[in-house]
Amino acid sequence: MSKLKNDTFLRALRREPTDYTPVWLMRQAGRYLPEYRATRERAGSFLALAKTPELACEVTLQPLERYPLDAAILFSDILTVPDAMGLGLGFVQGEGPRFERTVRDEAAVKALPVPDPEDSLRYVMDAVRTIRGALGGRVPLIGFAGSPFTIACYMVEGQGTRDFLHVKTMLYRRPDLMLELLDRIARATAAYLSAQIAAGAQAVMLFDTWGGVLADGDFQRFSLASMRKVLEALPREAERADGRESIPQIVFTKGGGLWLEEIAACGADAVGLDWTVNLGQARARIGDRVALQGNLDPMVLMADEAQVRAQALRVLERFGPAAPGVGHVFNLGHGISQFTPPENVAVLVDTVHEYSRRQRSGN
C-alpha cells in the first residue's frame, strides 16, 4: 500500500499541527453526483452497487475526482452487519431499507450469529482493499459502521421509524434483553471494523444516528456503553507494508450535544457534532481531550455561493484559531442531501481550505 501523500485529516484527528483545516463530507459519495447516479443505474440496485467491490470503489473515488477532499470514506451501508446476521436486507424505492425478519423476542436475539467479516461480509473487505489500491496514497480511507443502538433500532423495527415504538418498548419492558441484543451487535461490529482496519482502513467511524432519541440516562446505558465496548475491542494500530500506523477512531451521535463531555470520554480520538451545537462552546467544554468534527448544516448547501462561503466561515470562526493539542476536521452536521448542487460543494471545500490556510499563516 502506498505511503500517504496527504495525511492532514489523520494529523487533525491526532490533534497534531496542520497547515489548514481538512474537510470531508458525510455521504460525499452519493446521489447528488450525476456520475454516482449513472454508476448506480449500471449496477441495477443500491445493494448490487454496495456488494460489487469494483463499483463501490468507483463511487468512493468519484467525489475525490471532483473536489480536493482530505479523506475518502468507504462506500457501503450501516445495515450490512444485520444483513450478514441473517435478517434479509432489502431497499424499497422511496421508502428506504427494510428487513424480512425482525428481532423482538428472546428467541430471535439468541439466534443471532456474530458473522465472520471475511465470509458473509467479504465484499466489504474486498472493497476496502480495492479502494486502498486505487487511492494510491492520495488521501486516507475511512471505514465505518453503525452504532449498536442505531443498528438495534433497524433490527427491532424492521425499517426506519419516527416513533421507535418497538425498540423503546423492548428497552423499557425488557432492558436485559435489549442489553443482550446490544452486546451481540457490539461484538459483531467490533469484528467488522477490525477486519476493515486489517484490510486497509486508516481511520474508523461509528455512526450513532439514533442515540439522540434516548432519554438522559438511557443514552449512557444503552448507546454510549455499547459504543465504548466496540471501541475498546478495536486495534489502535495496524501493521502495514511500510510499518505500523495508528488508527484514529471517530464517534458521531446525532442529537448528542447534551452529552458531549461523556461522549468525549468514551475512548475515541474525535467526536462528530451535528449543526445544533456551537463549535466554539464545544471546544471550551472539552478542551484538548479529543478532536472535533463538524458541523455545518447540510441544508446550507442549498443556498447561493455567497451564503455557502459565509456559513462555512462562521463554522471555522466559531471553532477559533489553531492551537497545540487541538484538532478540527470540517464536515457537515449530518449527511449531504441528494438535492445538493455539486458546484456548491466545490465552493465549500475551497472556502474551508483557503480561509484556514490564511488563519494559520496570519494573513
Residue numbers annotated as active site = 27, 31, 40, 77, 154
**CB of 87 within 8 A of CB of 57?**
no
Please choose, from the candidates 22, 210, 207, 56, the residue with its C-alpha nearest in 3D space to the C-alpha of residue 124: 56
Cis peptide before 344 (omega within 30 of 0): no
Neighbours of 108 (CB within 10 A): 16
Amino acid present at 361? S
CA distances from 205 to 84, 100, 271 (A): 19, 27, 10
Rounded (10°) CA dihedral 14, 16, 17, 22: -10
Please choose, from the candidates 42, 47, 21, 46, the residue with its C-alpha nearest in 3D space to the C-alpha of residue 338: 46
CA angle 89, 92, 93 (to 5 degrees): 145
The residue behind cell 484527528 is 13
The burial of 361, by beta-carbon neighbours within 10 Å (0-12 exposed, 13-18 middle, 19 or more buried), is given as exposed
> How large is the greatest C-alpha to C-alpha distance in the chain, in angstroms?
64
**Count of residues in the chain:** 363
CA distances from 19 to 98, 171, 317 (A): 44, 46, 16
CA angle 61, 148, 163 (to 5 degrees): 100
Strand 89-92 and strand 96-99: the pairing is antiparallel
